[in-house]
Amino acid sequence: MRIHFEDHGQDFLTWQLDNNGIVVDSSPFQADLWCGVEVDKPGMLKVGGLVSCRHPNYVLTTTLRYPIAAIEPDMTAEAFTAKYPVGTACRYYPIAGSAKHRKTKTRSEAWALGHGAVIVKIEGSTGGVDINHLVMEPAP
Do residue 10 and residue 56 come from a single domain? yes
Please give the Cα distance from 4 to 124 (Å, whole number): 30
**Residues 85 and 131 occupy one common structural domain:** yes
Same domain, 68 and 6: yes
Instruction: Supply angle C-alpha 43, 57, 129, rounded to 5.
Output: 55
17 and 68 belong to one structural domain = yes
Domain match, 65 and 83 both:
no
pLDDT at position 139 over 80: no
Judgement on whether residues 109 and 64 belong to the same structural domain of the protein: no
Mark whether 35 and 81 lie in a shared domain. Answer: no
- Say what the pLDDT of residue 72 is: 85
Q: CA 92 to CA 105: how far, in whole Å?
A: 9
Lowest mean pLDDT among 26-35, 81-90, 129-138: 129-138
Domain housing 37: 2-72
Q: Do 56 and 117 belong together in one domain? A: no
Dump pLDDT digits (tens) for 97-109: 677 889 999 999 9
Distance CA 136, CA 98 (A): 17
Sheet containing 111-112: order of strands: 111-112, 118-121, 128-130
Please state, in angstroms and rounded to a whole number, the distance separating the CA atoms of residues 12 and 16: 11
Q: Is residue 68 domain-shared with residue 86, that is, in the same domain? A: no
Last residue of a domain, one of 46, 72, 98: 72
Q: CA–CA separation, 21 vs 17, rounded Å?
A: 5
Between residues 129 and 117, the one the model is more confident about: 129
Statement to judge: residues 42 and 62 lie in one domain: yes
Tell me the average pLDDT across 66-75.
90
**What local confidence, expressed as pLDDT, does residue 66 receive?**
97
116: nearest Cα among 71, 53, 73: 73
Using the 3D structure, point to which of 50, 72, 94 is the last residue of a domain. Answer: 72
Q: What is the pLDDT of residues 9-68, one digit of tens each?
A: 999 999 998 878 899 889 899 988 999 999 999 989 999 999 999 988 888 899 999 999
What does the alpha-carbon distance between residue 14 and residue 25 come to, in Å, rounded to a whole number?
8
Q: Does residue 128 have a pLDDT over 90?
A: yes
According to the model, what pLDDT value does residue 97 have? Answer: 61
Among 72, 102, 124, the domain-final residue is: 72
Whether the model pTM is above 0.75: no
The structural domain count of the chain equals: 2
45: nearest Cα among 27, 77, 23, 12:
23
